[in-house]
Structure 1
Amino acid sequence: MAWIAGDRLQGGEYTIERELGRGRFGITYLVKNKNGDRQVIKTLNDDLLKSLNQSERERLKTMFLREALKLQRCKHKYIVEVVDSFEEADCLCLVMEYVDGVSLADLRPPTLSESDALRYIQQIGEALIVVHENELIHRDVHPGNILLRNREGQLEAVLIDFGLALDFDHILTTSRTKETSDGFTPPELYAKGTITRAYSDIYSLAATLYKLLTGKTPVDAVKRKVDGEHLVSPKEWNPQISDRTNRAIITGMKLDPKQRPQSMREWLDSLGLIGETSKTETPVPPKPESKINWIAVTAIATLIAAIGTLFSGMAGLIPIFKPFASPSPPSLSPSPSSSKTP
């Protein structure tokens, strides 16, 4: 069911203000709760539900709910927060925080300095690490799904609009078209039945960095793979880009998923963005004092052995220096006084 401004949900808990956007799978609404706070509600697209049979509808709702519950566990300051979920008129709904900010797709001018771009990319990359740890893949990372929020005078990136239940396409016929973002969607997401992993979000985030640094949307993955179109190096568009960043973008956008970094942490490390979730451990050299202690122990042991040898030799020389025989030691057994020698 599509809602319009003024509609009230959950007995007046939420009031619809307006529709924010709609895709093939979902619709998002701006709402106010009973306290007057703005929030966002996301629900499944009613048109899609009507096109499915009962079994498919139940399957889609189950997948949406399962992934929504996973998303609720993804607590991170750079991920839009899911605060509630409910069912209204047979529609599953997610209630999320409202982020009032401009998206990276709407920047004017459209390009950023490398340092600013890398700061936002690191924030979203760290957020995606948490997403992947919760067995989710965003599937739709692009500049339009990254908002800039002002927190205490500092702009920070926030990841929104997860592609919940996009894997539902895998149970439909091949004639159905997947929801994709040209230039940012990896080739494996165009193929029916492909299992997506962290490397899929890496492709999309690398493409996002490409756009932020060049102002150009990279050539679509299908055109690269099927038509053989060349991916222009970002450094060709912007010579100011460092070689390291240029290489990381190209590697992150490899058509073959196996040739990309296999974890978001690995890709961020290749950019030099070592963060709080880094698993890379720097080998710790032995402490100097530990080495000295072992040397000291060895020296002491050697000294003790030498002293022992010295005493043994001296014991053999003692009789030579004695001029008189030693008196016999007294007996330890008590004797009666009559037996004493005068």
Structure 2
Amino acid sequence: MATRGEIIDNKYEIFREIGRGGMSVVYLAMDKRLNKQWAVKEIRKLANDAKNTVVIQSLLAEANLMKRLDHPALPRIVDIIDNGKTIYVVMDYIEGESLDKILKVNGAQSQEVVIDWAKQLCAALLYLHSQNPPIIYRDMKPANIMLKPEGGLKLIDFGIAREYKIQNTSDTVNLGTKGYAAPEQFGKMGQTDARTDIYGLGVTLYHLVTGQDPCEPPYEILPIRQWNPALSSGLEAIIQKCTQINPDDRYQSCDELMYALEHYAKMDNVYRKAQKKKLASFVATASITVTSLVLGVLFNVMSVNENKKNYTKMISISTSTNYTEKVNVYCEAIKLYPYRTEAYIKLLDAYSDNGTFNEEQSKQIMSYYNDAFSVNNESEYDKTGLDVAKLNYELGITYFYLYDEEKSSMKARTLKAEPFFAHIVENAPNTYENKALANSYYSICEFYKEYVANNRNTKEPNKETYVNLLNSLKVCIDDIDQYDYPDILYIKLTVYEAITDLLHNQRRSLCVTGIEYKQLETFITEVYSRAEKIVVTQEKSNNKKSYILEHKKEYLDDIENVYLKEGQE
């Protein structure tokens, strides 16, 4: 086993063990050159051990399969190291909690949250199934799904995924987790295909929305409203169709399932009864137009289905696609469905992956956002929806950390970010996982807006204002560690510089309003400590770090002197 501090392949320093199972151990490690955290899976080779050989073959097959894939919901494999005695697979370190742990702690999840997760998982499966040949995941279950801090999902454990072979009539190995696995994974019903994953997703949604483990009594997938009558009959119908015994009776593709998920409310009994009533009235008064109406509806439905498929394909393009093409495709997707949020978030990801977010890019995305999500269009979207909250959070974070116009000042970035965090604070439901984080960022933005950028403001900040600011700044410097922008080290230094400058400028007000010297000194010292630990080689980053540390003694002395003068140290 690897030990703390051990260096693997002269690159990866082992921090601690974060998981183990079977014959493998997973560690958290730091890339010494990139200053980035990775997960490292270790398995030792054992001579004359048939089971060990099978596990190693499975691990290598999983790693080689994953190396070809590039999707935000799938972990990346970045390195495979074989030193003769041990194999190490280096992959993305995924922060967050698995959905099975969330179920154990919190029980059944809200219907709206589960629908959002279902769409994310469906998009990931669609990407896998669109490979040539298609890749069948075969092990969908809450334990294999990680919820990241920002709300996105990641599928993990591709140990039993396989490529679909057209000539095969059945799988050679029966694998999967009983309770979640489709019947064809254990019987003689033929080879697993895309419909197998649809079954597993259906069972997973059942578990998430009801809290009932399919591996426990009554060992069957009952209609979800038998557990909770308040749940949607539309969602119930979707889950029932996903989990049919015969694959031919399920949704035949993730495209079909995605369309159903996006229209689950229209499958509700109440909605259907209302529509039937309207239709009956219409037929009675305008029967002469029935033929043309039916044809029109038919063509419209065909067009809508085609648009849905195109949209899903657009937002599922490989992240290895060049930047310009990605931006163009995501913009076209936004034009196709301006009230859907996925393409906006993909566009923001493209900007951040490219390492820039300037005024031109800001104008590009905001032209679409303002057209769709203005006050005048509130009838077209749900401003309290989780998808809208997630979009506003991503916009706020992008402006807060990446906006690089107007000399990249913290003031400029916070003023740009403030409206998006404000929208979350005012409208997002309490079930939105990042609402508390958004509130902290909003507090920082509001402080800059009221007391830094507003020269005409005569209102003075009080102790409560500063306590809230310090708490929010602490959340900010902790939260930034999860981001992996191309120039994240420079961004961190920029934030540290802004914080130390702000607290230095506000030192007298902090003192006279009653903020204790020890509290302020401890926090600003921590910020300096974080800056000192960052290892950089680029001139721009070096200059930024030098500026921060050159002012350290001056700023700390100035703060101490103010408190001494006021007699409050």
1:114 equivalent to 2:104? Answer no
1:189 equivalent to 2:176? Answer no
Distance 1:188 1:45 in 2: 33
Distance 1:145 1:181 in 2: 11
The 1:129/1:90 distance shift into structure 2, 3 A limit, reads farther
Bigger CA radius of gyration? 1
Q: CA deviation at 1:244?
A: 1.5
The 1:215/1:230 distance shift into structure 2, 3 A limit, reads closer
- Report if aligned partners of 1:74, 1:130 keep a CA contact under 8 Å in 2: no
- Write out per-residue CA displacement over residues 122-150 of structure 1, whole angstroms, 9 at most, x where no aligned residue: 11110111122223222221111111112
Equivalent residues in 2 for 1:141-220, closer than 5 Å: 141-151=140-150, 155-164=151-160, 180-191=176-187, 195-218=191-214
- Report if aligned partners of 1:213, 1:238 keep a CA contact under 8 Å in 2: no
Greater RCO structure (CA 8 Å; 6+ sep): 1
Report the more deviating stretch, 88-97 or 248-257. Answer: 88-97
Distance 1:75 1:148 in 2: 18
Match in the other structure for 1:129: 126
Match in the other structure for 1:80: 75
Match in the other structure for 1:256: 246
Distance 1:91 1:179 in 2: 26
- Write out per-residue CA displacement over residues 130-175 of structure 1, whole angstroms, 9 at most, x where no aligned residue: 1222232222211111111123xxx2222222224679xx767xxx
- Report if aligned partners of 1:84, 1:96 keep a CA contact under 8 Å in 2: yes
Q: Aligned with 1:11: secondary structure?
A: coil
- Report if aligned partners of 2:160, 2:175 keep a CA contact under 8 Å in 1: no
Match in the other structure for 2:29: 31
Q: Which amino acid aligns with 1:52?
A: A
- Report if aligned partners of 2:62, 2:158 keep a CA contact under 8 Å in 1: no
Distance 1:102 1:140 in 2: 18
Distance 2:22 2:161 in 1: 12
Q: Which amino acid aligns with 1:86?
A: I
Q: 1:277 aligns with which of 296, 312, 318?
A: 312
Q: CA deviation at 1:216?
A: 0.7
Match in the other structure for 2:429: none
- Write out per-residue CA displacement over residues 2-48 of structure 1, whole angstroms, 9 at most, x where no aligned residue: 54545432135342621513147x5433323225532112355757x
Distance 2:185 2:141 in 1: 14
Q: Aligned with 2:66: secondary structure?
A: helix
Distance 1:217 1:9 in 2: 40
Return the structure number with greater strand share. Answer: 1
The 1:12/1:50 distance shift into structure 2, 3 A limit, reads farther
TM score, norm. by length of structure 1? 0.64
The 1:244/1:82 distance shift into structure 2, 3 A limit, reads same
- Write out per-residue CA displacement over residues 305-331 of structure 1, whole angstroms, 9 at most, x where no aligned residue: xxxxxxxxxxxxxxxxxxxxxxxxxxx
Q: Aligned with 1:271: secondary structure?
A: helix
Return the structure number with greater helix share. Answer: 2
Q: CA deviation at 1:88?
A: 3.2
Q: 2:221 aligns with which of 212, 218, 231?
A: 231
The 1:247/1:45 distance shift into structure 2, 3 A limit, reads farther
- Report if aligned partners of 1:3, 1:16 keep a CA contact under 8 Å in 2: no
Q: Aligned with 1:76: secondary structure?
A: coil
Q: Which amino acid aligns with 2:149?
A: N
Q: 1:97 aligns with which of 92, 95, 99?
A: 92
- Report if aligned partners of 1:214, 1:237 keep a CA contact under 8 Å in 2: yes
- Report if aligned partners of 1:68, 1:164 keep a CA contact under 8 Å in 2: no
Q: Which amino acid aligns with 1:31?
A: A
Q: CA deviation at 1:270?
A: 2.1
Q: CA deviation at 1:231?
A: 2.9
- Write out per-residue CA displacement over residues 176-200 of structure 1, whole angstroms, 9 at most, x where no aligned residue: xx66434212222224895321112
The 1:44/1:181 distance shift into structure 2, 3 A limit, reads farther
Distance 1:38 1:237 in 2: 42
Q: CA deviation at 1:85?
A: 2.5
Q: Which amino acid aligns with 1:272?
A: E
1:268 equivalent to 2:303? Answer no
TM score, norm. by length of structure 2? 0.40
- Report if aligned partners of 2:210, 2:224 keep a CA contact under 8 Å in 1: yes
Distance 1:14 1:277 in 2: 40
Q: Aligned with 2:154: secondary structure?
A: strand
Distance 2:190 2:207 in 1: 26
Gaps of 5+ in 1: 173-177, 280-342
Match in the other structure for 2:234: 244
Q: CA deviation at 1:119?
A: 0.4
Distance 1:271 1:165 in 2: 24
